[in-house]
Structure 1
Amino acid sequence: MKGKRYIFYTAAFTFFAVLISQKEVYAMHIMEGFLPPLWAAIWFALSIPVLFLGVRRIQKLTADHPNMKMILGLCGAFAFVLSSLKLPSVTGSCSHPTGVGLGAILFGPAVTSILGVIVLLFQAVLLAHGGISTLGANVFSMGIAGPFASYIIFRGLKKIGASKGVSVFLAAAFGDLITYIVTSVQLGLAFPTESGALAAVAKFLGIFAVTQIPLAISEGLLTVVIYNILTVYNGRELEELALAREAKS
């Protein structure tokens, strides 16, 4: 019980610390109004089926494992805090950690997509980061593509016998990188150069790589630390959840 209270107060403190500390706002994720309406609508449409599945998975998760609600909230707060740490990068967007790898590892990518929506909505409405019109694109890159990559990498490494530390690190780091690969594709398709969309994607990737590779490494290391703390306080519950998820897959 003491460990759960510690997790709750830590999550609450970090959330409100970020919320009140914003003095100057820059574009984050893909900013409001930056994408053409057609592409904004396409990414919304592609995100909806996964979000629908995520809602159902969360309903089942909280019904079968009500003691996971606190950790679910912590994963959301972790993503909110990390994705609020921004570095100027590509025009119309920004480099930052994503924080969604932790949720994908613990709960799967569908559940994490809902956390991504909540995080992005809070940032768009309260912090002017991202936007409502570009919410679908940002959800697809950070809330869907990144978590799916993290989940697949973590499960794959686990099956070949890699240690949990290495598995968590690589899953979180590559989930971060995949988010920005998808963001580059989104920007390249919306704003092709004279040489075509592929050339635009390559250009965006090259700019993002300067800041995103070190950020991905840092996110991987921090995710390992948080994962280890959670397993110390909630090891049995997390193991039961993992076993139940593996039995259904």
Structure 2
Amino acid sequence: MKKIRSISFALFYCLSVFMIFPKNAYAMHIAEGFLPMNWAAFWWMIMLPFLYLGLRSINNTVKDNVNLKMLLAMSGAFIFVLSALKIPSVAGSSSHPTGVGLGSILFGPTAMSVLGVIVLIFQAILLAHGGLTTLGANTFSMAIVGPFVSYGTYKLFERLGTSKGIAVFMAAALGDLMTYITTAMQLALAFPSAHGGVFASALKFMGIFAVTQIPLAISEGLITTLVFNLLTVYSGKELKQLALMQCKKEPELEVEK
């Protein structure tokens, strides 16, 4: 019980630290109308196939396991809360966590495209965080690239034999960082530098957010690990259904020789 209380307090503390920062800076989600229409349409077209695959993935997951719907909704809420917490960066911009690492580990990367697009639509409409024309680009960076990196990282560290905590931490942190690298590349492609082209522009955009995004990635890794630990305590049955926990052999089922 003391361990559970300690984890809960640490989670509350970390979230509180995020929330005390002011939120009046420009959002890292690409804002409404910021991308040229040809690039906005391009990212929409790239995003749609992943959205279809995500819908199929979620349907297959919850079809025979209705009790997983609550865990899926929690993953979506986790994304919404973390990605809405904006921390000011340089040049009047801002950075924020993404929250996609947890859901990627639990339900796979394609499912996050659906949760991500839902979260981004609500944030664009209710919080003026991002936009509808730029929804394809924002979904691709935060809900497609980020989740695939998180999932791949988790599986890699799992195969290397590391602990669950390290695997979850690295998955969440690297997924967060890759989201911002992707966003920087999207902006660089749309607005190449007059001197140095896309590469120089990408370095500029990545440099703007590096100061705040690296600490944020570390913080997101810690928070995701704490939440995962809580799930192992309170949602062990669901995690076993998702093949994330090894089912322990029940002593009473063992046959004595």
Deviation at 1:239, TM superposition (A): 1.9
Matched, 1:101 2:101: yes
| 1:123-138 correspondence to structure 2 within 5 Å | 123-138=123-138
Residue 36 (structure 2) aligns with: 36
In 2, are the aligned partners of 1:150 and 1:174 still within 8 Å (CA)?
yes
> Secondary structure of the equivalent of 1:242?
coil
2:44 and 2:243 mapped to 1: Cα distance? 30
- Give the distance between the partners of 2:52 and 2:179, measured in 1 at CA: 20
Q: How many residues align?
A: 225
Q: What is the match of residue 240 of structure 1?
A: 241
- When normalised by structure 2's length, the TM-score is 0.83
Could you tell me whether the CA contact under 8 Å between 1:30 and 1:93 is conserved in 2?
Answer: no
Q: CA RMSD in A?
A: 2.0
The within-5 A match list for 1:194-205 is 194=194, 195-205=196-206
Q: How does 1:147-166 map to 2 (within 5 A)?
A: 147-166=147-166
Q: What residue in structure 1 maps to residue 229 of structure 2?
A: 228
In 1, Cα distance between equivalents of 2:24 and 2:185: 28
TM superposition shift of 1:27:
3.1
How many angstroms apart in 2 are the aligned matches of 1:112 and 1:127? 21
Shift in Å, 1:55: 0.5
Q: Greater Rg, structure 1 or structure 2?
A: 2
Deviates more, 1:230-239 or 1:64-73: 230-239
CA displacement 1:72-108 (0-9 Å, x = unmatched): 1111111100001112337796310000000000000
User: Could you list the per-position Cα deviations for residues 180-220 of structure 1 after superposition, in whole angstroms to 9, with x for gaps in the alignment?
Assistant: 00000000001110110011001111111111000000000
Q: In the superposition, relative to structure 1, how do residues 60 and 52 fare at CA in structure 2: closer, same or farther (>3 Å)?
A: same
Structure 2 unpaired stretches of 5+ = 1-14, 246-257
Q: Supply the AA of the counterpart residue of 1:184.
A: A
**SS of residue paired to 2:242:** helix
Match of 1:70 in 2: 70
Cα gap change, 1:23 to 1:220, in 2 (>3 Å): closer
Between the aligned partners of 2:28 and 2:132, the Cα distance in structure 1 is 12
Match of 2:167 in 1: 167
Deviation at 1:26, TM superposition (A): 3.6
Gaps of 5+ in 1: 1-13, 245-249
Q: Counterpart of 2:139?
A: 139
TM-score, length basis structure 1: 0.86
Q: Give a deviation string over 1:104-157, Cα, whole Å, max 9, x none.
A: 000000111111001100100111110000000000000000000000000111
**Aligned match of 2:53:** 53
What is the aligned partner in structure 2 of residue 177 from structure 1? 177
Task: Quote the Cα distance in structure 1 between the aligned partners of 2:233 and 2:61.
Answer: 21
Quick check: which one's helix share is greater? 1
Q: How has the CA–CA distance of structure 1 residues 87 and 71 changed in structure 2, closer, same or farther, with 3 Å as cutoff?
A: same
CA distance in 1, matches of 2:244, 2:208: 41
Cα distance 1:92–1:50, how it changes in 2: closer, same or farther (>3 A)? farther
CA positional deviation for 1:237: 2.1
Structure 2: distance between partners of 1:53 and 1:138: 18
CA displacement at 1:62 relative to structure 2: 1.4
